[in-house]
């Protein structure tokens, strides 16, 4: 019976054999998401949504500390707004869903389903902002956006609708906008490294990779175990591009009328996909404790005659641990302990606590780590302390492993030949670049690698442009990317 269940429910593909198929299975069987019966769209199931709630709670609290507030703007955008900022419309229009009818009537004007909300929000800002007293405006929205992707659907990574937050701020000066961009980027970095346990490289996007309509885009890039990079989040300084297009002006302290300086920034449910890829293993999901909806699961090992004592003890342990951790007691009838072990492993719960008749006798429990599989017998009076320590160790271990992966798969290339050889093994390649978009394009065409970012850290290594061989005064991270 048990082995049957294993075959049906467990992961059938190895992570290092078919990464893509492994990913699909982990997402589906781990109960994170499902395909909707509608090309390109996904359903975020309770386990996946609970991870998103953890991310939301953390980020929401961080931005509120800095004075940001949430608001809601319509999901549909009149065509006329959408077309006001030229770069922006060029960047997004190929992917826009259009609403053209209501009931049985044809609409007078087509409405775009928001691919991002700059335009509809900035129309409101142009009416709300009058004076320097109204600044800064620090607004964030939690919503979903729609982009008619044509490439193959990949749960969390490439779907036609996804959940995200989009922040939209207005400032009196460019310096303030710069500061805001970096403040948010730092919150993102902390979230990714400390909560998701995924190290990121931060830097600027090139002109060809920046957000459509931005002055510049900053980004956080991570490396996945298959050697491909993933953009984890972006924070843009929009300059005055949109404020000029939408007429967002304020009367400054010097009584001069000025256009505001703006930023926008976002992270999405794609982060959940990155967590799956970064930490999962051949048994399924492995969740960092900081975002695990269930941090420890208690599984009573039940035999008929000792059932009551084992359940009682399990409940006692649950009640004890619940004051500090999110704990679940799996006392479902009709499932074997082995089945439950597999299911909770699939779901990535960081700690399993087994309590059987012998454990009750000895006032102990067996504690099993999801990341390493290590088992340890713990005396019950110690269990609170032990769970806390173990969760910290799991969190740290996942981050260290990811840092190691990034370090071991980041290489320096000094010419195109070397670059091409290195990129065969994927990973991040750091190289010099002259700054010419043609060279960037050539590398992309030849190797499939794009410039992920130009890192903020100053790396004073002079060298020649990886593509043209002329003076390469810029440093850049290249990778094939999601």
In eight-state DSSP terms, residue 314 is H
Segment near a copy of itself (CB under 8 A), from 102-110, 233-241, 407-415, 467-475?
102-110
| Least spacing, CB of residue 274 vs a copy of itself, in Å | 18
Segment near a copy of itself (CB under 8 A), from 118-126, 260-268, 276-284, 473-481?
118-126
Contact residue for a copy of itself among 2, 90, 98, 336 (CB under 8 A)? 98
| Least spacing, CB of residue 114 vs a copy of itself, in Å | 10
- Residues 221/198, Cβ–Cβ less than 8 Å: no
Q: Does the protein bind a copy of itself through residue 36 (CB under 8 A)?
A: yes
State the first-to-last Cα distance of the chain, in angstroms, to the nearest integer: 40
Phi, psi angles (nearest 5°) of residue 442: -65, -45
| Least spacing, CB of residue 462 vs a copy of itself, in Å | 44
Restricting to residues 51-80, name those near a copy of itself by CB under 8 A.
52-53, 69-78
Give 281's strand partners. Answer: 284
Segment near a copy of itself (CB under 8 A), from 82-90, 93-101, 348-356, 465-473?
93-101
Contact residue for a copy of itself among 25, 85, 118, 161 (CB under 8 A)? 161
In eight-state DSSP terms, residue 130 is -
Q: Please state, in angstroms and rounded to a whole number, the distance separating the CA atoms of residues 314 and 319.
A: 9
Q: Which residue has the tokens 């074997």?
A: 336
- Residues 239/262, Cβ–Cβ less than 8 Å: yes
Of the candidates 171, 229, 172, the residue with the CA atom closest to the CA atom of residue 201 = 229
> How many other CB atoms are found less than 10 A from the CB of residue 114?
26
Site string for a copy of itself, 123-152 (x = CB under 8 A): xx--xx----x-----x---xx-x-x----
C-alpha dist (Å) from residue 374 to 11, 80, 284, 423: 20, 60, 16, 36
Contact residue for a copy of itself among 12, 28, 45, 436 (CB under 8 A)? 45
Segment near a copy of itself (CB under 8 A), from 108-116, 168-176, 339-347, 463-471?
108-116
Q: How many residues does the chain have?
A: 482
Restricting to residues 307-346, name those near a copy of itself by CB under 8 A.
332, 334-335
Segment near a copy of itself (CB under 8 A), from 30-38, 254-262, 320-328, 464-472?
30-38
| Least spacing, CB of residue 85 vs a copy of itself, in Å | 16
Phi, psi angles (nearest 5°) of residue 98: -115, 135
Burial class of 407 by CB neighbour count within 10 A (0 to 12, 13 to 18, 19+): exposed
| Least spacing, CB of residue 34 vs a copy of itself, in Å | 6
| Least spacing, CB of residue 374 vs a copy of itself, in Å | 30
At residue 268, the 3 state secondary structure works out as strand
- Residues 302/311, Cβ–Cβ less than 8 Å: yes
Task: Give the interface with a copy of itself as residue ranges (CB under 8 A).
Answer: 34, 36-38, 41-46, 48-50, 52-53, 69-78, 81, 93-104, 110-111, 113, 120, 123-124, 127-128, 133, 139, 143-144, 146, 148, 161, 163, 332, 334-335
């Amino acid at each position: 019976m048990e082995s049957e269940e294993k075959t049906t429910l467990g992961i059938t593909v190895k992570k290092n054999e078919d990464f893509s198929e492994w990913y699909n299975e982990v997402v589906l069987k781990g109960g994170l998401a499902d395909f909707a019966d509608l090309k390109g769209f996904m359903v975020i199931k309770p386990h996946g949504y609970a991870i998103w709630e953890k991310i939301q709670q953390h980020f929401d609290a961080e931005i509120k500390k800095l004075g940001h507030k949430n608001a809601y703007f319509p999901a549909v955008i009149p065509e006329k707004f959408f077309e006001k900022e030229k770069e922006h419309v060029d960047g997004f229009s190929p992917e826009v869903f259009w609403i053209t009818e209501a009931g049985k009537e044809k609409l007078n004007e087509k409405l775009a389903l928001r691919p991002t909300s700059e335009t509809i929000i900035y129309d409101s800002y142009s009416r709300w902002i009058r004076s320097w007293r109204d600044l800064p405006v620090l607004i964030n929205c939690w919503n979903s956006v729609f982009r008619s992707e044509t490439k193959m659907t990949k749960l969390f990574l490439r779907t036609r609708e996804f959940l995200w937050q989009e922040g939209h701020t207005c400032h009196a000066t460019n310096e303030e906008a710069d500061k805001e961009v970096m403040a948010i980027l730092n919150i993102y970095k902390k979230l990714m490294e400390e909560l998701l346990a995924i190290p990121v490289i931060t830097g600027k996007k090139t002109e060809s990779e920046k957000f459509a309509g931005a002055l510049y885009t900053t980004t956080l890039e991570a490396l996945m175990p298959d050697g491909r990079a993933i953009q984890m989040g972006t924070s843009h300084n929009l300059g005055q591009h949109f404020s000029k297009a939408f007429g967002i002006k304020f009367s400054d302290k010097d009584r001069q009328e000025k256009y505001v300086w703006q930023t926008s920034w976002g992270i999405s449910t794609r982060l959940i996909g990155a967590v799956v890829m970064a930490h999962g293993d051949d048994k399924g999901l492995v969740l960092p404790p900081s975002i695990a909806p269930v941090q420890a699961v208690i599984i009573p090992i039940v035999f008929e005659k000792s059932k009551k004592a084992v359940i009682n003890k399990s409940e006692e342990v649950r009640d004890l641990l619940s004051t500090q951790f999110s704990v679940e007691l799996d006392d479902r009838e009709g499932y074997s302990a082995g089945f439950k072990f597999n299911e909770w492993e699939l779901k990535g719960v960081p700690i399993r606590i087994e309590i059987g008749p012998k454990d009750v006798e000895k006032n102990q429990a067996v504690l099993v780590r999801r990341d390493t599989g290590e088992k340890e017998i713990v005396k019950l009076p110690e269990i609170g302390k032990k769970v806390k320590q173990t969760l910290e160790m799991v969190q740290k271990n996942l981050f260290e492993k990811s840092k190691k992966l990034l370090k071991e798969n980041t290489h320096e290339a000094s010419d195109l030949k070397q670059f091409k050889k290195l990129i065969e093994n994927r990973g991040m390649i750091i190289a010099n670049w002259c700054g010419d978009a043609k060279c960037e394009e050539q590398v992309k065409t030849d190797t499939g690698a794009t410039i992920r970012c130009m890192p903020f850290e100053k790396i004073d290594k002079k060298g020649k442009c990886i593509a043209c061989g002329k003076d390469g005064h810029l440093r850049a991270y290249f990778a094939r990317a999601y």
